[in-house]
Structure 1
Amino acid sequence: MVRQLAPYTKKYRLYMILAPISVIFEVLLEIRIPYYMSKIVDVGINTGDMDYVLRTGGMMVLMAILGLCFGATSSRFASMAGMGFGSELRRGLFEKVQSFSFANVDKFSTASLITRLTTDVQTIQMAFMMTIRMLVRAPVMLVGATIMAVQINGELALVFLVAIPILASLLALIAVKAYPQFRKMLDRYDNLNASVQENLIAIRVVKAFARSEFEKGKFKNANDALTAAQRKAERILNWNMPVMQLTVYSCIVAILWFGGQKIVVGNMQTGELISFVSYVNQILMSLMMIANVFVNLVMSRASLQRISDVLAEEPDIQDGSGEAQAADGSIDFENVSFKYNKDASEKVLEGIDLHIASGQMVGIIGGTGSAKSTLVQLIPRLYDVSEGRILVGGRDVRDYKIAELRQAVGMVLQKNVLFSGTIRDNLKWGDGEASDEEIVAAAQAAQADDFVQSFPDGYDTDLGQGGVNVSGGQKQRLCIARALLKKPKILILDDSTSAVDTATDARIRQAFATDLAGTTKIIIAQRITSVCDCDQIIVMDGGKIAAVGTHDELMKTSEIYRDVYESQQKGVA
């Protein structure tokens, strides 16, 4: 897992080296101070030599100032390395997520990926900063202070030399017990984020159905579950400080007891005992630092595993080796079957054979759950087929570079998504270099230009987050215009005119027939009137093609199509 994170430290390795070096100098200076303090007591004060006291005291002050400078420097280097590492890791995770297919995202869930990109990265970042600073400072201080203490009195040093392995064993036991609880706690974070995300995205639905109390209850359950998991994890780690303090105070009491006896019998001087106690404090402080780092490493281990899972995830859709663009908009399904999970027993699509000529307008209808959307999502490889193959422009879609294939396919999904920014910014997602004339032409074809021009700022109108300033039908037309700006060879509308009136729907289809004669157009719709003029209509039922033909042909040969048509015509009557 650690090896996976190493590349993200590359830009900041100089700071990673300078931080611990500065820490080493800081600690070496700090360790010398108790030595000079003992000399002031045993030599300067005992002999009444004030010049010696002042000279030695001056050395102590100088060392303290230099130690402070090295400490501040190490802190700055550690911060720069830690923040930089966190930034690179977030960037790497985000780029990895961008390479995921729909199936990969479904595996982790959106809320969990957000937690991993924020909370988990922050936890690892803090652990990293402590590691390159504290995890150097503590061992150097521990070893240095131990050497100085042993030089002063080896017998007295046995007190804490015995205590250290006992303390290490207790801390290891705490870590083993705490890790699984922190893993559960982070899972609860995922659930909490999911609850908040769903509520904020669907806040209008919540208000419309007066479900605020229900959502509060759902959030309370997720929040209480997270709190309980945190308490359980912290309850184990709470043993860390009492164990440390018991060890520290026991050692100090024992040293003062035995040291006092040595002073009485003349085997030790007062200044030596004072400096010895200072070194013991440094030793025990270094142990407490190690314990704190240890706690953070326990917490970060769970986050590290979760981030490692994302970095190790292989996108199940790999780039093809072909460099060529699609020759035309022809589409061929050859015995295509699909299932979302490789281990699933049932197929979502099965035995699909279909030919769509370049430039045709094709309609797809079918009941809910008939896999209409899944069928078209296979064309730009949002999912990959489980069996068979799909050809675009006469070539297997898996042979294209993904970017080239998706550039050739304009798609308006069922859920219309607009982004923060102006209408112009959103439309330019289709073509970042589009001129104003091209933007207006695409909006006119999508029947969006009239309402855009009615806004005071026109195409510079700010849409707000998610396009909250426009209606559902206006949002659909803007998404269609955005797709048209790509000038795709294939245009797919997945129930993308459901929120517009029939007259506007008809004008959009007329614009397609006139302006996009060479583009293959696939329209998924619930309204028969949206597809009845298509060159061919595909009737889906239970993940299979039930019938293919023109409106007149299907009225004669397809009972499903005829039933839908008649039921809708009755509704009109």
Structure 2
Amino acid sequence: MLKMIKRLSPLAVIGAVLFMVIQIVSDLFLPTLTSNIIDKGVTQGDTNYIIRIGMIMVGVSLIGITASVFNTLIATREAQKLGRKVRSEIYSKVEYSSNSEFEKIGTASLITRTTNDVNQVQMVTQMFLRLMINAPITLIGASILAYTRDPNLTKIFIYIIPALLVVVGTIMYFATPLFKSLQEKTDKLNLVFREGLTGVRVIRAFNQTGFEEKRFDTANRDYTQTAIKVNLLMSFLLPTITFIISITNVSIVWFGGHNIAEGTLEVGNMMAFMTYAMQILMSFIMMTMIFIFVPRAQASAVRINEVLDMENSIKDVKETENFKEEKSLAFEDVSFRYMGAEKSAISEVDFQAKSGETIAIIGGTGSGKSTLINMIPRFYDVEAGKILVNGIDIKKVNQVSLRDHIGFVPQKALLFTGTIRSNMQYGNESVTDEEIWKALEISQAKEFVEKLPDGLETKVEQGGSNFSGGQRQRLSIARALAKQADIYIFDDSFSALDFKTDAALRRALKESITEAIIIIVAQRISTVVDADTILVLDDGVMVGNGTHNELKKTNQTYQEIIQSQLREEEIA
């Protein structure tokens, strides 16, 4: 939590403390003035004195109110600014993290940490600038002033304060782990809920609605039971404190009454003492409220710091080397192993591609095709060997500069909320309409986009849900082409296309993209047959490298893939 507090502006904290001190001084001064009115004004019948002190009390109250308003304003602004800053830091951290770090925490947990956890920290930050400053200062000031009114009566607090501490300490001892557990169960609830929403079609198709409802009910019940335990535990706090305050009031009246009867204490001083006693006990109540929220905020802060302190496995460089004019891609004995895996996903892959060449990568499921191409934009970093883009080791250039040279189409076609035009401009803000239509034409999307009433201004729903799978795929391809990159990577991006559209798209790519390098990951032989070079992967090892005609004669793995997809007469 201290790491969060350190992000606050020092001037704002000083300002909040200053206004809070003014408010506290005003609050502590009022009981003294009340005491004076009673002892020197009411008892002596001095009306002028009562009016004069009354006016002073009004002025002091106005000063206190003004200071309180400014303190609240500063506290609220700083808490909101902190929340905005932390959310931005989490988002930036995740955006620049490698896939390994992203997968380690999970989407559902990241959403919870960015929203619920940050809100907890915001709330406690505001309390810090309000109650955490107010409570201790008021406690000390009220204790001193109460002692000056009657030293003997202050002995009551010797018994009351330890009792409060024991009650609060005991409850928080049991509540703190429950607060931490509550945040973790929020993660679980979000995970199940998110999976239920995103996978609703699959759930219905398999008639698993009942199963998913039970799964959600289990997570929901688990969260509810923990929340009930926490609230039940905390429910003992306020009644216990109220009981202690009542005992305090009775004790003050009892012993104070005896002192008044003996003539050792004036009525006004006793009323002032009771007010200071209430301020002391209210300070403890404020501190108790802090103790209610701080453990939960502490658990949230730890979870936030886990993300912010997460060390990125991909080390970026600040000063980047300049790419050479040549457009080339080279893998030099590249190997890669997923975190915690015993076996390498990619082993000693070695190949080169030059300007204008099309490289196809084919292999069975789990052979490492996607892993291989994900290392080019450094979604994962090589374990051994090196990758050269335009003659430069990609570890010697920063990721932003590297990815400026790459147009990437992932396996899952994803469009962003907006319009077709805004999606086409995603990788190249300065792309013209003419260039957009050219990219759409190459990707075989121009025909259906032209038929849309709004053309390029057609709205795109979240994830592109208002388009079919084939349309989303073609628009994703067009978005990459509109970027005008040196290397285009298509990660099984033609899978939703029919054979006719697939062939037309590949032909258009070959005719239009004459200088850039094209990398195609595919499952279908028909998609890779025209490539200049075909890489055959099997269990992370490159077992073949050549043209279609060369590989179908000499490579057993490639022959098996052909036989699984084509008839005998088609193979020949």
- Interval containing the TM-score (normalised by the shorter chain): over 0.9
Q: Which amino acid aligns with 2:336?
A: F
Q: Give me the whole-angstrom Cα distance separating, in 2, the residues matched to 1:328 and 1:315.
A: 31
Q: Which amino acid aligns with 1:340?
A: Y
Question: Hey, what does 2:487 align to over in structure 1?
Answer: 490
CA contact (8 A) 1:111 1:197 kept: yes
SS in 2 for 1:518: coil
Deviation of the 1:572 alpha carbon: 11
Q: Which amino acid aligns with 2:18?
A: I
Question: Hey, what does 2:446 align to over in structure 1?
Answer: 449
CA contact (8 A) 1:446 1:508 kept: yes
Question: Hey, what does 2:322 align to over in structure 1?
Answer: 324
Relative to 1, partners in 2 of residues 1:416 and 1:379: Cα closer, same or farther, differing over 3 Å? same
Q: Residue 303 in 1 paired to residue 272 in 2?
A: no
Question: Hey, what does 1:480 align to over in structure 2?
Answer: 477
Question: Hey, what does 1:9 align to over in structure 2?
Answer: 8
Q: Give me the whole-angstrom Cα distance separating, in 2, the residues matched to 1:206 and 1:453.
A: 35
User: Which residue, 189, 193, 204 being the options, matches 1:192?
Assistant: 189
Deviation of the 1:208 alpha carbon: 3.9
Q: Give me the whole-angstrom Cα distance separating, in 2, the residues matched to 1:548 and 1:288.
A: 75
Q: Give me the whole-angstrom Cα distance separating, in 2, the residues matched to 1:456 and 1:519.
A: 34
User: Which residue, 49, 70, 94 being the options, matches 1:97?
Assistant: 94
CA contact (8 A) 2:5 2:125 kept: no
Question: Hey, what does 1:171 align to over in structure 2?
Answer: 168
CA contact (8 A) 2:323 2:392 kept: no
Deviation of the 1:170 alpha carbon: 4.0
Q: Give me the whole-angstrom Cα distance separating, in 1, the residues matched to 2:269 and 2:149.
A: 7
CA RMSD in angstroms comes to 2.0
Q: Bigger CA drift: 92-101 or 283-292? A: 92-101
Q: Give me the whole-angstrom Cα distance separating, in 2, the residues matched to 1:448 and 1:294.
A: 59
Q: Give me the whole-angstrom Cα distance separating, in 1, the residues matched to 2:476 and 2:202.
A: 22
SS in 2 for 1:466: helix
Structure 2 residues not aligned, in runs of 5+: none
Q: Bigger CA drift: 458-467 or 357-366? A: 357-366
**TM, length-normalised to structure 2:** 0.95
Q: Give me the whole-angstrom Cα distance separating, in 2, the residues matched to 1:571 and 1:83.
A: 69
Deviation of the 1:40 alpha carbon: 2.4
Q: Give me the whole-angstrom Cα distance separating, in 2, the residues matched to 1:571 and 1:32.
A: 100
Deviation of the 1:169 alpha carbon: 4.5
Q: Give me the whole-angstrom Cα distance separating, in 2, the residues matched to 1:357 and 1:47.
A: 104
User: Which residue, 360, 363, 374 being the options, matches 1:363?
Assistant: 360
Relative to 1, partners in 2 of residues 1:326 and 1:430: Cα closer, same or farther, differing over 3 Å? farther
User: Which residue, 33, 37, 52 being the options, matches 2:34?
Assistant: 37
Q: Give me the whole-angstrom Cα distance separating, in 2, the residues matched to 1:236 and 1:447.
A: 64
Kindly provide the CA deviation profile for residues 402-459 of structure 1, in whole angstroms up to 9, marking residues without a partner as x. Answer: 1121111211110111000000000111211001111111111111111100100001
Alignment of 1:127-526 (within 5 A): 127-320=124-317, 321-325=319-323, 327-341=325-339, 343-526=340-523
SS in 2 for 1:154: coil
Q: Bigger CA drift: 327-336 or 489-498? A: 327-336
Aligned residues with identical type, % of pairs: 37
Relative to 1, partners in 2 of residues 1:192 and 1:329: Cα closer, same or farther, differing over 3 Å? farther
Q: Give me the whole-angstrom Cα distance separating, in 2, the residues matched to 1:227 and 1:570.
A: 59
**TM, length-normalised to structure 1:** 0.95
Q: Which amino acid aligns with 2:126?
A: M
Deviation of the 1:116 alpha carbon: 1.0
Q: Give me the whole-angstrom Cα distance separating, in 2, the residues matched to 1:380 and 1:141.
A: 58
Q: Give me the whole-angstrom Cα distance separating, in 2, the residues matched to 1:4 and 1:257.
A: 47
SS in 2 for 1:414: coil
Q: Which amino acid aligns with 1:433?
A: S
Q: Which amino acid aligns with 1:454?
A: K
Question: Hey, what does 2:15 align to over in structure 1?
Answer: 18
Q: Give me the whole-angstrom Cα distance separating, in 1, the residues matched to 2:346 and 2:368.
A: 7
SS in 1 for 2:431: coil
Structure 1 residues not aligned, in runs of 5+: none
Deviation of the 1:210 alpha carbon: 4.0
Q: Bigger CA drift: 263-272 or 104-113? A: 263-272
User: Which residue, 541, 544, 555 being the options, matches 1:544?
Assistant: 541
Q: Give me the whole-angstrom Cα distance separating, in 1, the residues matched to 2:83 and 2:247.
A: 40
CA contact (8 A) 1:326 1:408 kept: no
CA contact (8 A) 2:323 2:391 kept: no
Relative to 1, partners in 2 of residues 1:350 and 1:173: Cα closer, same or farther, differing over 3 Å? farther
